[in-house]
């Protein structure tokens, strides 16, 4: 009987193991190559590439510096904004909560391009205005470690706001009320009660964000390469493009980065498990916001300042640049044109990249939603053995930097006698692998809220397993499936790290195409393409909202 139950998980484990662990094996194999770096598989093995890692001490130091700066800024932004929007009463709070999440969907690549236009040395819009006012030198320079960290904090640190806000919403407000009853002011209550209670959530967010910053590529690439400022991810990119390519160094750096990220993510889990700050008991409560009087206008200004810096100004800068033949902030000197959009949309290499991204997004989202549903049912609804192992394997790509995983996929599939390298098939397979954790976590949250008793009642009433799935389970999971589909679609359209290694002449996609346009010093064209990508992502978000509203009406 137990052997029969393994028939449920064994195929899933085999499939996911091949998709996830197979590329990591080749990454490890190449990192141990002590002979000719162009020979694959290696003929000579050793630890030479790992012994050479100290030679990259400057790169490692740069990575730590940028990651720490970005994490510090992201946590500061996230805590202040989460406190304002969850614990105080300000106008337009619900709208602002939604706007705070937009930088994540704009992507770090778009954010880096936008801030390059805004705060680049000499020609950046801010410096143009500064020079026009008589200022000497440059007021700001985003092409620096601090500039890279700033962009990463704005566009990759949104998760800090989400995690800290969730912790604050789960906190019992009676504890703060007790503090105020005993005579403590609002500021003292925040420092002495609120902050200690959400400390586990803040610390967990900090560790998780730090791991994300270590593996970040787009902002470090766009803003670091011009000044020859390398972090580990951009050093991996450079090693693979050098002549001859130093694949062993790239693999060793990638595995070292993976090990550090795995440790930090494990630390985040440990913090959440051992946190002894539980405030949710059997007593029901509703999170309550506090009136702050006239201070609400200052807090509102802080929120809108963040929205301006992370959303409004970047999009405005890209729009202005995309409509100009020469980027300038002075409209009287501008010559407006739609040539950049015509170039981006014409059916050439750029049009092909945009079309391929849409095809991949639709296909990967559809297949991913189906695969995710099967995996979620096995892991959280069946009693088959090996469920925990299956969940671990599926979630494994979350701990691997996208660039590193892309490198492993490159070597893995080049060595298979199937003509899929350089095709959309390989990109689709890669996207499906790296976005399985996203789909699983999205749908799992819905599945765990559905009482098993509903399904058991259907079976007791005589419904077959198939009818129970069709009439009970699937309708209840439909919101989660829709959310998983849209989020995987958005992630696929904006993907850069994996694509940069796996695309071929006929399988170009939009994110690397934007990078290539930027590398060719075409600010207008890259801005137009970045806005088209952002428009596609935002359209996906609107679709998600419309579908959720229609599903809500059907349920009602």
Q: What's the pLDDT score for residue 410?
A: 82
State how far the Cα of 425 lies from the Cα of 442, in Å rounded to an integer.
25
Rounded percentage of the chain residues whose pLDDT exceeds 90: 17
pLDDT of residue 249 exceeding 80: yes
State how far the Cα of 512 lies from the Cα of 500, in Å rounded to an integer.
6
Collapsing DSSP states into helix, strand and coil, what is residue 449?
Answer: coil
Q: Measuring CA to CA, which residue among 155, 171, 158, 173 is closest to residue 205? A: 158
Mean predicted confidence (pLDDT) in 522-551: 80
Q: What is the CA radius of gyration of the chain?
A: 25
State how far the Cα of 553 lies from the Cα of 106, in Å rounded to an integer.
29
Domain boundaries, the chain: 1-27+338-556, 64-228+293-332
Residue-wise pLDDT tens digits, 75-109 = 999 989 988 988 888 898 889 988 988 888 888 89
CB within 8 A of 281, min separation 6: which ones?
172
Average pLDDT, the chain: 80
Q: Which residue has the higher pLDDT, 200 or 287?
A: 200
The CATH classification number of 1-27+338-556 equals: 1.10.3720.10
pTM higher than 0.85, yes or no?
no
Same fold, 1-27+338-556 and 64-228+293-332: yes
Of 33-37, 169-173, 217-221, 333-337, the one with minimum mean pLDDT is 169-173
Partners of residue 324 on adjacent β-strands = 336
What φ, ψ does residue 510 adopt, rounded to 5°?
A: -70, -40
State how far the Cα of 232 lies from the Cα of 523, in Å rounded to an integer.
26
pLDDT of residue 532 exceeding 50: yes
| Burial environment of residue 508 by CB neighbours within 10 A (0 to 12, 13 to 18, 19 or more) | buried
State how far the Cα of 317 lies from the Cα of 328, in Å rounded to an integer.
10
Q: What's the pLDDT score for residue 280?
A: 41
Q: What's the pLDDT score for residue 347?
A: 58
pLDDT of residue 420 exceeding 50: yes
526 within 8 A of 353, measured Cβ to Cβ: no
Q: Which residue has the higher pLDDT, 41 or 21?
A: 21
| Overall fold of domain 64-228+293-332 | MetI-like fold (1.10.3720)
Q: Please report which confidence band the pLDDT of residue 281 belongs to, taking 50, 70 and 90 as the band edges.
A: very low
State how far the Cα of 203 lies from the Cα of 356, in Å rounded to an integer.
40
Helix, strand, coil proportions of the chain in percent (round to 5)? 75, 0, 25
State how far the Cα of 497 lies from the Cα of 495, in Å rounded to an integer.
6
Residue-wise pLDDT tens digits, 4-30 = 566 667 888 888 888 888 888 888 888
385 within 8 A of 2, measured Cβ to Cβ: yes
Q: What's the pLDDT score for residue 115?
A: 95
pLDDT of residue 279 exceeding 50: no
Residue-wise pLDDT tens digits, 348-399 = 777 788 888 889 988 999 999 888 888 888 887 777 777 778 888 888 887 7
Most confident of 214-223, 236-245, 270-279: 214-223
């Amino acid at each position: 009987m137990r052997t029969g139950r393994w028939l449920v998980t064994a195929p899933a484990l085999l499939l996911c193991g091949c998709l996830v662990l197979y590329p990591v094996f080749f990454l490890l194999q190449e990192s141990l190559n002590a002979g000719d770096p162009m020979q694959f598989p290696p003929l000579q093995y050793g630890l030479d590439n790992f012994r050479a890692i100290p030679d990259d001490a400057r790169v490692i130091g740069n990575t730590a510096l940028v990651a720490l700066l970005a994490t510090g800024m992201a946590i500061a932004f996230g805590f202040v904004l989460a406190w304002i929007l969850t614990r105080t009463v300000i106008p337009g709070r619900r709208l602002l909560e939604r706007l705070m999440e937009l930088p994540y969907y704009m992507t770090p690549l778009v954010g880096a391009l936008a801030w390059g236009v805004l705060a680049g040395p000499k020609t950046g819009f801010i410096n143009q205005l500064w020079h026009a006012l008589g200022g000497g030198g440059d007021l700001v320079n985003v092409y620096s470690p601090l500039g890279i960290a700033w962009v990463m904090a704005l566009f990759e640190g949104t998760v800090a706001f989400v995690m800290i806000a969730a912790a604050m919403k789960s906190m019992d407000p009676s504890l703060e009320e007790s503090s105020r009853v005993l005579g403590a002011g609002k500021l003292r209550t925040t420092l002495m009660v609120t902050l200690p209670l959400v400390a586990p959530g803040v610390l967990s967010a900090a560790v998780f964000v730090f791991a994300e910053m270590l593996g970040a590529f787009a902002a470090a690439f766009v803003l670091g390469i011009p000044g020859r400022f390398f972090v580990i991810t951009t050093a991996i990119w450079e090693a693979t493009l050098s002549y001859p390519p130093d694949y062993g160094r790239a693999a060793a750096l990638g595995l070292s980065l993976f090990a550090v990220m795995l440790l930090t993510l494990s630390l985040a889990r440990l913090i959440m498990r051992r946190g002894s700050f539980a405030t949710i008991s059997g007593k029901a409560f509703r999170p309550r916001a506090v009136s702050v009087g006239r201070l609400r206008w200052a807090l509102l200004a802080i929120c809108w300042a963040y929205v301006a810096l992370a959303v409004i100004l970047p999009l405005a800068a890209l729009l202005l640049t995309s409509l100009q033949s020469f980027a300038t902030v002075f409209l009287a000197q501008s010559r407006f044109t739609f040539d950049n959009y015509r170039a981006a949309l014409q059916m050439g290499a750029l049009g092909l990249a945009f079309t391929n991204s849409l095809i991949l997004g639709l296909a990967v989202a559809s297949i991913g939603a189906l695969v995710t549903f099967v995996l979620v049912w096995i892991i959280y609804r069946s009693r088959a053995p090996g469920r925990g192992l299956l969940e671990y394997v599926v979630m494994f790509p979350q701990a691997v930097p996208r660039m590193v995983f892309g490198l492993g996929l490159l070597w893995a599939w080049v060595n298979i006698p199937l003509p899929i390298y350089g095709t959309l098939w390989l990109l689709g397979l890669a996207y499906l692998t790296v976005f399985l954790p996203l789909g699983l976590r999205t749908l799992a949250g819905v599945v765990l809220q559905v009482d098993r008793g509903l399904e058991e009642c259907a079976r007791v009433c005589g419904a077959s397993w198939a009818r129970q799935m069709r009439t009970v389970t699937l309708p209840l999971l439909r919101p989660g499936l829709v959310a998983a589909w849209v989020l995987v679609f958005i992630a696929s359209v904006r993907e850069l790290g994996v694509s940069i290694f796996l695309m071929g002449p006929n399988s170009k996609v939009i994110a690397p195409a934007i990078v290539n346009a930027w590398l060719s010093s075409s600010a207008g064209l890259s801005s137009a393409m970045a806005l088209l990508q952002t428009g596609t992502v935002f359209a996906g978000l609107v679709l998600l909202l419309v579908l959720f509203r229609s599903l809500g009406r059907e349920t009602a």
